[in-house]
Structure 1
Amino acid sequence: MAQVLEFKLPDLGEGLTEAEIVRWLVQVGDVVAVDQPVVEVETAKAMVEVPCPYGGVVTARFGEEGTELPVGAPLITVAVGAPASGGPDVPAKGAEGSGNVLVGYGTSEAPARRRRVRSARPEPAASVTVAAAPAAPAAPVLPGVPAEASAGPVPVISPLVRRLARENNLDLRELTGSGPEGLILRADVENALRGAVPREQAAQPSPGSSAPAGSRRIPLKGVRGAVADKLSRSRREIPDATCWVDADATELMRARATMNASGGPKISLVALLARICTAALARFPELNSTVDLAAREVVQFDHVHLGFAAQTERGLVVPVVRDAHARDAEGLTAEFARLTESARDGRLTPADLTGGTFTLNNYGVFGVDGSTPIINHPEAAMLGVGRIIPKPWVHEGELAVRQVVQLSLTFDHRVCDGGTAGGFLRYVADCVEQPAVLLRTL
């Protein structure tokens, strides 16, 4: 006798309380294995796949793509031990569950190939209570299951493209994809939107709002909402200050060119800056810390988990390089490249985005010289690096054209005074101007 188990959206950790359904990976009637991913969701931190701890036949799905669900809301129901097309029962061990339902940490088993089941389908379970699943004639659509389940998903190149269409109220089924086998690309959606009015423009202002007609309303949710909340909290809680200095980066650029000319993996500039950061934090540990308001204590860390700002289509994210202080330039280059690629593809996990102790912000990639950024709460400081450009500079007593960069340090004034912050920034500038200074810490 089959048992119907309800799988709910699991606790996502890191204070996350909700997630948006991006893409269903299974349909009603599919056979799923223990720990097989069944849905792709977007949290405020990452795009991740959620594995189901039960093995059996999917009897119902709850929520359409684009729906936001709170933690604990039903995702799917699975008939455990249900016969598949007259064959043997699905192994009942799925009733125990694997327990591997933490988002973003993978699964213990490879997902089995999905197969459709055309036998009788049980009704969706009404609660978590395990109950016998009565057989019922097949219906066009089960209660609680969107009609899309039988039609199948639209082939789209990425969840980001699907999200773009959804936020502008564009029906993907009306588009003809220009990609291979009709795959819908971002360009297809953007071309369609040029002749359409976005949903936000057509929305009426809420009661009491003074927004003029035709203005655009963009919901603060997902990554953008999380960034807004964190920046607001940082501004409320952290009394920050900023100091900055210009530095001659000519010798650093030459050193990097020499490294890359000697063969082996290429060393990135951001990796060298990260190496300088970790050396500076070893000298000024006050800036590698956080403030515990409840205990009224400054907590200094003995490790450097280095965050770096990365701009993506989903918004600004801050991936974290774990134990950056223990990595050499090659290791830092490889890890920066891995995290950057994952950020652009929307594959960062919550573990990749949390636990930072200090942030490196290379805003020079945007073509700007300086900035006074907001500290990435709950950290205590952030080093900013502007663009490196040729400028007139007095070098060895003579005017010359040198590669100059502006460095800034925004710091929590509760963890240190200006002397410490200035000492840190001056040491960073010295390492940029004379990379040999780093030899002391190697």
Structure 2
Amino acid sequence: MTIETERLRDRVAAELLRARERSTRLTEAVDDDDLVAQHSPLMSPLVWDLAHVGNQEELWLVRDVGGRAAVRQDIDELYDAFKHARRDRRALPLLNPAEARRYVAQVRDKALDVLDRARLDQGRRLVADGFAFGMIVQHEQQHDETMLATHQLRSGPPVLSAAPPPAPASVVTGEVLVPGGPFTMGTDTEAWALDNERPAHQVFVAPFHIDRAAVTNGAYAAFIEAGGYDDPRWWTAAGWDHRQEAGLTGPAHWQRDGSSFAATTFGRTAPVVADEPVVHVGFHEASAYAKWAGKRLPTEAEWEKAARWDPATGRSRRYPWGDAAVESRHANLGQRFLRPSAAGAFPDGASPLGVHQLIGDVWEWTSSDFHGYPGFAAFPYREYSEVFFGPDYKVLRGGSFGTDASAVRGTFRNWDYPIRRQIFTGFRCARDA
């Protein structure tokens, strides 16, 4: 074993532990009745998510990588996300909270034993560079963010708390010009990058302007007060139909508070903070605001160029700030603050062109449909990405305050239906140069 391999093994173990600690915090914050409840038809019961992350760990690490006997093969179908819609999972014969906790602990013990014996420096592509373990780390952290979204939808007294985000170091407004030309989109070198991030390829992007910061609560409130939700001029036909059918009047969880607005966040209602990014808006709302403002949403390629392209060298970096791993000074990630931070709160995370907080705070809608890159190859299974390709899903980028650093990077791609608002979504605008 090389020193590098042992360091990788230690890193994997630490990341697995960190993800499980977060899962534990999210599920132990409520009682068993809350864990098995269906808080929204859009979300699974929290206890389903807990057992599901264990089941995926068993399938990939214990059975596939480790070649071990099944721990609970009888529950595979119950926790197959493609077999049962979220709204139906409450009615399934799920493991109860005590059983789920025992199950994930048993699986983790076996997975760590597999990690101790796995050859991470050679052999199968699934295991090389610890990919399978990194995939499971990201999967659990993604479900932790899903569970955090479920917490936002539950009723009852608050059970989660955190310090407020840092105050902005400076006022960040306006936009920047991103020069036209080619850049490298995607990656061939990120060891734990998922299949839809690959392969790296050249993309030509015409010059464009992009906002230095995400659209704020104050700016979005101005759109509402100007009658933005009542004027079909700003909406696409599909967006206007949805706005009317769903009765949308503002972001999810907002309510009128006299002449201003308040929002309920994890059980606490308070006035919206004007300079923080707006959150819980769908794609249709984002595109309507952008048109009202005389702009548009960026394409996915524009977003990635703004986030990764270094004008001094012409190369694409891992993150807006460079190739260095995420530190707490770079971005609002990992549910440290439980809400987005104001523009300018993380100056060390800005891009060379001066675009702020492209990583963290809110997932940002783009105008692009979700498709594979040229030369895409599904790995290690089609159901991670390929089955979602097509015009039904819009791409989101950048991560949110609830996203973990292990599950976001400059190339990471998320996607959802344009009507979805339960996830921590916001946006920034762009326009042609």
Bigger proportion of residues as strand: 1
With normalisation by structure 2, the TM-score equals 0.22
**Structure (1 or 2) with the larger CA radius of gyration:** 1
The answer to which structure, 1 or 2, has the higher relative contact order (CA under 8 A, 6+ apart) is 2
TM-score normalised over the length of structure 1: 0.22
